[in-house]
Amino acid sequence: MKANCILLRYGELALKGKNKKEFENRLVKNIREKLKQFPGCEVTRVHGRIFVELKEHHSEPVMEACSEVFGLVGISPAIRTEKDWEKIKQAALAITEEQGERIQTFKVNSKRADKKFPIRSLEMNHRLGGFLLGKLSHLRVDVHHPDMTLSVEVRSTHAYVYGNSLPGLGGLPVGVSGRVMLLLSGGIDSPVAGYLALKRGAELQAVHFHSFPFTSERAKQKVIDLARILTRFGGHIRLHVVPFTDIQTEINRHCYESYTITVMRRIMVRIAERIADRNKALALVTGESLGQVASQTLESMRTINAVTTMPILRPLIGMDKQEIMDISKRINTYETSILPYEDCCTVFLPKAPKTRPDREVAERLEARLDLERLIQEAVDGTEVIDLRPEQEEEFSCF
First to last CA, the chain: 54
Q: Which of ligand ATP, Mg ion, none binds 231 (CB below 5-8 Å, type-dependent)?
A: none
Considering the complex, state which of residue 187 and residue 201 has its C-beta at the smaller distance from ligand ATP.
187
Q: Does 273 bind ligand ATP (CB under 6 A)?
A: no
Q: Is 295 in the site for ligand ATP (CB under 6 A)?
A: yes
In order, the DSSP letters of 202-269 are -EEEEEEEE-TTTS-HHHHHHHHHHHHHHHHHHSSEEEEEEE-HHHHHHHHHHS-GGGHHHHHHHHHH
Stretch that binds ligand ATP, among 23-31, 76-84, 121-129, 206-214 (CB under 6 A): 206-214
Torsions phi, psi of 209, nearest 5? -100, 120
**From the list Mg ion, ligand ATP, none, partner contacted by residue 110 (C-beta under 5 to 8 A by kind):** none
Q: Is 183 in the site for ligand ATP (CB under 6 A)?
A: yes
Name which of 89 and 210 has its Cβ closer to ligand ATP: 210
Asked whether position 77 contacts ligand ATP by CB under 6 A, the answer is: no
Give the Å distances, CA to CA, from 341 to 196, 218, 269, 391: 24, 7, 23, 24
Residues annotated in a binding site: 183-184, 208-209, 265, 287, 296
Q: Check binding of 203 to ligand ATP (CB under 6 A).
A: no
Q: Is 382 helix (H, G, I), strand (E, B) or coil?
A: coil
Chain center to CA of 378: 29
- Residues with Cβ within 8 Å of 383's Cβ and at least 6 positions away in sequence, in order, are 240, 241, 243, 395, 396, 397
Q: How far apart are CA 167 and CA 74, in angstroms?
A: 5
- Contact residues for Mg ion, defined by CB under 5 A: 185, 187
If binding is defined by CB under 6 A, does position 195 make contact with ligand ATP?
Answer: no
Select the span of 137-145, 152-160, 172-180, 289-297 touching ligand ATP (CB under 6 A): 289-297
How near is the Cβ of 131 to ligand ATP at its closest, in Å? 56
Q: Which residues are annotated as a binding site for ATP?
A: 183-184, 208-209, 265, 287, 296
Q: Which stretch binds ligand ATP (CB under 6 A): 90-98, 118-126, 178-186, 372-380?
A: 178-186
Residue 187 near ligand ATP by CB under 6 A: yes
Give the CB-nearest residue to Mg ion: 187
Q: Least distance from C-beta 327 to Mg ion, angstroms?
A: 16
Contact 338, 309 (CB under 8 A): no
Q: Which of 136, 293, 312, 384 binds ligand ATP (CB under 6 A)?
A: 293
Find which of Mg ion, ligand ATP, none residue 287 binds, CB within 5 to 8 Å per kind: ligand ATP
Length of the chain: 398
Helical segments of the chain, H only: 17-34, 59-66, 85-99, 121-135, 189-199, 217-234, 245-254, 260-278, 298-305, 321-330, 334-337, 344-347, 359-366, 371-380
Q: Is 81 in the site for ligand ATP (CB under 6 A)?
A: no
Q: Residue 295 touches which of Mg ion, ligand ATP, none (CB < 5 to 8 A by kind)?
A: ligand ATP
Q: Which of 163, 287, 357, 389 binds ligand ATP (CB under 6 A)?
A: 287
- AA identity, residue 304: I
Lay out the site mask for ligand ATP across 335-364 (x = CB under 6 A, - = otherwise): --------xxx-------------------
With CB under 5 to 8 Å by kind, the binding choice for 293 among ligand ATP, Mg ion, none is ligand ATP
| CA distances in angstroms from 387 to 138, 225, 228, 241, 326, listed in the order given | 50, 9, 6, 13, 25
Give the residue among 197, 255, 251 at the shortest CA–CA distance from 378.
251
User: Judged by CB under 6 A, which of 199, 208, 220, 222 binds ligand ATP?
Assistant: 208
Among candidates 221, 214, 274, which has minimal Cα distance to 246? 214
Q: Which is nearer to Mg ion, 105 or 221 (CB)?
A: 221
Q: Using CB under 6 A, list all residues that contact ligand ATP.
A: 183-185, 187-190, 207-209, 286-288, 292-293, 295-296, 343-345
